[in-house]
């Protein structure tokens, strides 16, 4: 799908015009958005707009980090938005000229829709041009990072409280899953932060200098996101170490109990082994009270060893 918006020099907006009629309109600037385009629409990048083949290649082949390239007459950006379900990056390509902006994305993104509604729905924005549109796209994409980070913080609070009384191994699984999500977020946020840093310090983006304060605000948001992500990673490290310590302590307690039981039964097994031998001449075997005496001795040994272990503090936990 391709949607178009242009602003005429007579202060009138123009929607949904065809690309063939683009030059027929007296437009001050325009925005063309390729939203999940088909093959024929993709071909327009080369045939109609004649963008550089390397820029088109970067646009069509995903898994690119955010980047900034300078071409004759326009600037090419790749941004990374977030997929809500997986937190994987979704690429958005921007071809920015002084009087036009072409956006391209294979996923339908609410961030782009929000930017479109803000730009086209408010008359006060129509005279601000393509750089303002680029700022809105950057801003909406970065703003969409915050709910993902807040959601992870809520999960960490729930894990720390553990009101559901989950088992340690389940808690550890959730901690490692959250750490994986944080790693995805850190990669995306760090790359976007580096891109904004390049924009703010570039001398080859004259149109962006007028909006530098707005892009600087986005950069500040990315710095805040980076701090929040690192803080959450530290919390997951603390939770992981705590759960591992608790699990190790419980294992040690169980091993201690088994050791006590085994130690108590060693002398009892020794006595039972002696009287289990099939010798013909064992004086105790013919004594009337020998059975009860041996049981009494074994009971006393077991009780005395239990009391001795208890006095050593083995059962304090």
Q: Give the tens place of pLDDT for each residue, 222-256.
A: 999 999 999 999 998 888 888 887 778 788 888 88
Residue 77, pLDDT score:
94
Residue 276, pLDDT score:
79
In this structure, how many other beta carbons lie within 10 angstroms of the beta carbon of residue 182? 22
Looking at the predicted structure, is the pLDDT value of residue 25 above 70?
no
Using only the alpha carbons of the chain, give its radius of gyration: 36
Q: Give the tens place of pLDDT for each residue, 98-138.
A: 888 999 998 889 999 999 999 988 787 777 888 999 999 99
Residue 150, pLDDT score:
94
Distance CA 274, CA 263 (A): 18
Helix (H, G, I), strand (E, B) or coil at 103: strand
Looking at the predicted structure, is the pLDDT value of residue 152 above 80?
yes
- Long-range CB pairs of 62-67 (<8 Å, 24+ gap) are 62/91, 62/106, 64/91, 65/191, 66/191, 66/192, 66/194, 66/195, 67/195
* Burial per residue of 85-112, b for 16 or more beta-carbon CB atoms within 10 angstroms, e otherwise: eebebbbbbbbbbeebbbbbbbeebebb
User: What pLDDT band is residue 317 in, cutting at 50, 70 and 90?
Assistant: low
* pTM across the whole model: 0.79
Residue 22, pLDDT score:
73
Distance CA 100, CA 72 (A): 14
Contact yes or no for 79/105 (Cβ under 8 A): no
Looking at the predicted structure, is the pLDDT value of residue 285 above 80?
no
All structural domains of the chain, each given as residue ranges with its CATH number in brackets, are 2-246 (3.30.460.20), 247-312 (1.20.58.340)
Residue 225, pLDDT score:
95
Looking at per-residue pLDDT, the higher value among 168 and 159 belongs to 159
């Amino acid at each position: 799908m391709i949607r178009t918006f242009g602003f005429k020099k007579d202060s009138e907006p123009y929607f949904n015009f065809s690309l063939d009629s683009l030059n027929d309109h007296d437009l001050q600037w325009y925005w063309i958005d390729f939203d999940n385009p088909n093959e024929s629409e993709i071909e327009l990048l080369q045939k109609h707009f004649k963008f550089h083949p390397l820029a088109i290649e970067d646009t069509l082949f995903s898994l690119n980090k955010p980047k900034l390239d300078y071409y004759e007459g326009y600037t090419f950006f790749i941004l990374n938005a977030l997929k809500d379900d997986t937190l994987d990056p979704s690429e958005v390509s921007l071809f920015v000229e002084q009087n036009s902006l072409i956006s391209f994305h294979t996923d339908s993104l609410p961030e782009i829709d929000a930017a479109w509604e803000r730009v086209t729905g408010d008359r006060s924005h129509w005279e601000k041009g393509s750089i303002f549109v680029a700022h809105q796209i950057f801003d909406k994409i970065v703003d969409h990072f915050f709910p993902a980070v807040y959601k992870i913080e809520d999960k960490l609070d729930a894990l720390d409280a553990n009101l559901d009384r989950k088992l340690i191994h389940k808690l550890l699984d959730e901690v490692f899953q959250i750490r994986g999500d944080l790693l995805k977020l850190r990669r995306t946020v760090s790359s976007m932060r580096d891109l904004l840093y390049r924009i703010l310090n570039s001398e080859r983006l004259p149109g962006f200098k007028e909006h530098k304060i707005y892009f600087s605000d986005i950069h500040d948001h990315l710095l805040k996101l980076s701090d929040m992500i690192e803080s959450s990673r530290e919390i997951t490290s603390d939770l992981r170490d705590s759960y591992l310590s608790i699990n190790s302590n419980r294992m040690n307690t169980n091993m201690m109990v088994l050791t006590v039981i085994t130690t108590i039964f060693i002398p009892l097994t020794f006595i039972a082994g002696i009287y289990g031998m099939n010798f013909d001449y064992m004086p105790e075997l013919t004594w009337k009270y020998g059975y009860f005496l041996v049981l009494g001795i074994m009971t006393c040994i077991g009780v005395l060893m239990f009391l001795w272990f208890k006095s050593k503090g083995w059962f304090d936990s």
